[in-house]
Amino acid sequence: MSVDTNVNLDNGMQEVTFLKTPIMATYLLAWMIGDLEYIETYTTGDFSGEPVCCRLYAPIGLATHGQYSLDLAVKSVEYFSRLFDIPYPLPKLDLVAVPDFSPGAMENWGLITFRTHAVLLDEHSTNDRQREIAATVIHEISHQWFGNLVTMDWWSDLWLFEGFATHLAYIVVDELFPAWDVWSEFVTRVQHVLKQDALRTSHPVEVGVANPSEITQIFDEVSYMKGASVLRMLSGWLGEDQLLKGIRKFMMRYMWGNANTDDLWMTLAEECQADVPEFMRRWTRQTGYPVLTITEIDESTIMVRQSLFLSTGDIREEEDDFLWPVPLSLATAADPTPKNIMMTTKELILKVDTKGWYKFNMGQSGFYRVSYPPRALDLLGQTLKNGEETETLKTADRVGLLTDAAALVAAGVSPTSSFLTLLKYFEDEENNLVWAEISMRMQELVAVWLEQPAPVVNAIREVQRRLFKNIVKRLGWTYPEGEDPAIGNLRALAIRFAGRAADPEDTSAIPPDLLFPVFEIVIKTTTGLDEYEAIMAFYRETYSPGEKVVALTVLGYGNSPEMIQRTLAFAMSEEVRNADILSALATLRSSVMGRAELWNFMRQHWDVLYERHFDDLRFVEYFIMFSIGMFSSVEKYQEVQDFFANKDMSQCDRILANCLEGIRTRILWLERDREDVEVWLKSNGYLAPAALVEVGESESGFGGMMSTATEEDRRYGNLPFSRRTSLLHAVPGLQLSLTGTLSISTRTICTTLMSTNIIITTTTTTIMNMERTIAISTNTRNVFSMRSISNRNNRSNIRARRFTSMNLQLV
């Protein structure tokens, strides 16, 4: 509330009296004391007749960086006043940037608190940061009505107010920034909760809360994003205008009081003359969501069957008795205008021309997955590849095709190779959000396969690099004046994943959107400490909260044991605010070494960490998730179970259960598709074949024993070279140094190999038996070619690196 009186006392202190608050929930009370500065402005007062004073407070020297957020606040207050037909209910609104604030933001009535980088923006901030700040500020301001003026009856209704605040924020952002295409971005955000809600350990949107520890645990993606998603689905069914009319009636009826989920459904049913309770209760009281499996009966008929979708893919018969009312929204090549069909049965027969493409869930407004027959998915891909129907199959639809295919692959419904093949149809895609989703799915694939043999992991990364390299060539590094921010985002994304970056000495010359990809590439591609120290210095010198988070995040990509250890120590030091610690830890799990060190660190320091952060259980939950959430082996699954078996996890039992279920999902995925992925990589030229090298007797005593290599050794070329017959794997960047006089004959054992170059450095004369015998002069470096007559279209390079103590080290 605003200040009522301010009296100077004789002892030099001041007595400040504030205006009396309206009736309100106790959790919305807050006050702030500190050395702060502010900027202010006022609403027009056009709607309420009284201008509202809006201020943004920040630490000294940073308040001007809040101008963007303050302007958004004024526009949002005016927008929501008109939307709800209720003036802003307080005399003032303050936004406060708090340097060490664990939540992203908190909607205290009239005094909204934010983490500094969630509300402050400067000339170094990225386009993505602008969008994130807009969504956060508007979300919190929507709560001033929906959550504060009308408050949930009990914590089990948390989803309603968080879900609606999220949904309403997207409506306002779309109104203020139509070029941002925020509803397509919404579809990308929904993927996180679709993944979480496909676990057996998930929970319904409406979940009972029996004790305080359960309150914190339900502040998750299910409450926020599934809540917002089912409300968007409801909006699609009723129509947005009808939904908003019902919300206004609800607000008027329950303002200055409490309400629950059923109160809203009944109000909407009255206003819209529809059975809203029956429709929504299935979605909010049942855990999970359906996958629609399409079966083509003939050229004009299909059958749609709904069943519970589980990421593990091992659904039991007794689990498949759920039924949802599913709005289908179907478009076809013959009739691209979406047709709305409500599916209320387990199976549904529809007349569809299957000779052309067809797609369900147009606009991706439905909270479900769709599994198409391979031929139908191929038709959709071909349509996109040919540049057809881009006005019909919009960004959200293309994102939906990708994400559904990726999820079905992880669950074992389709082979992983089918998703990798689908990506080929998107090579000419130009939309940033689609490419962002491709990068996310490829990162997930790398993460699951990360502890597999290096050649396979490198081949998967090469798939990703090739997908993005053409974008880098097309867009370059230069940011033209007036360029669409989405193009800038795409450039930054492509440079990051193509891995083609320079190493600028002057960081001030790096465009803000390229700061993260440049830093990431530099630190990932060096084991030296100079670059690491440079980024550490950048963190210490920059005043920008957003740039500090970027630097911290990038430090987690360090690829040497020393870097990883230093990052862990630095993240937990007093130099890093508690609110920012997780930024560094999140990226440590992107490497095998980082995962191992983070897991060891957690086990060694668990008791201290838990005690220190007990009052911030969200931190503890994220720490658990980052430390164990990406494992994909039976051994690690057992380690996690054993470690936590004797720990009191009553406050974090839900996140632990989710992580274990996620590990199990990845274990099953690997078991099913390890060979499928390798076959696809080889057949598409990403995973090169091996060549058989026989080492004969020589004057220097090298033996010519037959190989005793295992089958796995032969598959990947991981063989000891001394006194053995060895398989050399064609991995770019290897170099082989031989000492002595050898007689070497080669023959290819895989017909996909056409030409392999071997660079050999010798210190004595060496005789090479290939297609002809060649003598090599002493102390020279020569390149020879091994050829396979059967295939002359595929090229690979071997450059061997080191030959030490009779061992060939492949890197």
* Tally of domains in the chain: 3
In-domain check, residue 420? no
Confidence of residue 285 (pLDDT cuts 50, 70, 90): very high
Q: What is the largest CA-CA distance in the chain?
A: 104
DSSP conformational letter for 116: G
Which residue, of 382, 407, 432, is where some domain finishes? 407
Q: In this structure, are strands 743-748 and 766-769 parallel, antiparallel, or unpaired? A: parallel
| N-term to C-term CA, the chain | 64
Instruction: Give the pLDDT of residue 807.
Output: 29
Judge if 248 and 326 occupy the same domain: no
| φ, ψ dihedrals at 19, nearest 5° | -65, 150
Of 304-308, 499-503, 597-601, give the lowest mean pLDDT range: 499-503
Cα dihedral 634, 639, 640, 644 in deg (nearest 10) = 150
Judge if 711 and 775 occupy the same domain: yes
On whether 162 is known to bind a ligand per the annotation, the reply is yes
DSSP 141-192: HHHTTBTTTEEESSGGGHHHHHHHHHHHHHHHHHHH-GGG-HHHHHHHHHHH
Average pLDDT of every residue of the chain: 80
pLDDT score of 324 more than 70: yes
| φ, ψ dihedrals at 45, nearest 5° | 75, 10
Q: What is the mean pLDDT of residues 608-618?
A: 77
Of 647, 654, 663, 645, nearest to 609 by C-alpha is: 647
Q: What is the mean pLDDT of residues 329-358?
A: 94
**Better pLDDT: 551 or 36:** 36
pLDDT tens-digit series, residues 553-585:
888 888 788 888 888 888 888 888 877 888 888
Instruction: Give the pLDDT of residue 769.
Output: 31
What CATH number should be reported for the domain holding residue 156? 1.10.390.10
Q: CA-to-CA distance for 590 and 449, rounded, in angstroms? A: 11
Query: 59 Cβ partners below 8 Å, 6+ apart?
Result: 34, 35, 36, 37, 97, 99, 116
What CATH number should be reported for the domain holding residue 360? 2.60.40.1910
What per-residue string of b and e applies to 100-138 under the rule 16 or more CB within 10 Å gives b?
ebbebbbbbbbbbbbbbbbbbbbebbbbbbbbbbbbbbb
Q: What percent of the chain has pLDDT over 70?
A: 80
Judge if 714 and 800 occupy the same domain: yes
Instruction: Give the pLDDT of residue 523.
Output: 58
Judge if 125 and 46 occupy the same domain: yes
- Beta partners for 146? 150
Q: What is the mean pLDDT of residues 434-452?
A: 93
Domain boundaries, position 398: 289-407
On whether 143 is known to bind a ligand per the annotation, the reply is yes
Judge if 46 and 97 occupy the same domain: yes
Which residue, of 392, 407, 422, is where some domain finishes? 407
Instruction: Give the pLDDT of residue 521.
Output: 57
Instruction: Give the pLDDT of residue 514.
Output: 58
In-domain check, residue 645? no
pLDDT score of 809 more than 70: no
Which residue, of 381, 407, 433, is where some domain finishes? 407
Q: What is the mean pLDDT of residues 274-288?
A: 92
Instruction: Give the pLDDT of residue 755.
Output: 31
Active-site option among 107, 140, 185, 520:
140
pLDDT score of 249 more than 50: yes
In-domain check, residue 334? yes
Judge if 214 and 315 occupy the same domain: no
140 is catalytic: yes
pTM of the shown model: 0.79
Judge if 224 and 341 occupy the same domain: no
Judge if 217 and 294 occupy the same domain: no
Instruction: Give the pLDDT of residue 580.
Output: 83
> Are 79 and 172 in contact, with CB atoms under 8 Å apart?
yes
Judge if 325 and 400 occupy the same domain: yes
Q: What is the mean pLDDT of residues 209-222?
A: 73
In-domain check, residue 11? yes
Instruction: Give the pLDDT of residue 503.
Output: 33
Cα dihedral 458, 416, 794, 502 in deg (nearest 10) = -40
Instruction: Give the pLDDT of residue 528.
Output: 62
pLDDT score of 805 more than 90: no
Maximum average pLDDT range among 340-349, 491-500, 595-604? 340-349
pLDDT score of 192 more than 90: yes
Judge if 189 and 311 occupy the same domain: no
In-domain check, residue 554? no
In-domain check, residue 615? no
Confidence of residue 147 (pLDDT cuts 50, 70, 90): very high
Judge if 56 and 173 occupy the same domain: yes
Q: In terms of C-beta distances under 8 Å and separation of at least 24 residues, what long-range contacts does 474-482 make, across chains too? A: 477/514, 479/511, 479/513
Residue 281 CB: number of other CB atoms within 10 A? 15
Instruction: Give the pLDDT of residue 195.
Output: 94
On whether 15 is known to bind a ligand per the annotation, the reply is no
Confidence of residue 213 (pLDDT cuts 50, 70, 90): low
pLDDT tens-digit series, residues 516-529:
555 555 555 555 67
Instruction: Give the pLDDT of residue 577.
Output: 83
Q: What percent of the chain has pLDDT over 90?
A: 50
Could you tell me what percentage of the chain is helix, strand and coil, using 3-state DSSP and rounding each to the nearest 5? 50, 15, 35
In-domain check, residue 35? yes
In-domain check, residue 155? yes
pLDDT tens-digit series, residues 50-65:
899 999 999 999 999 9
Judge if 28 and 102 occupy the same domain: yes
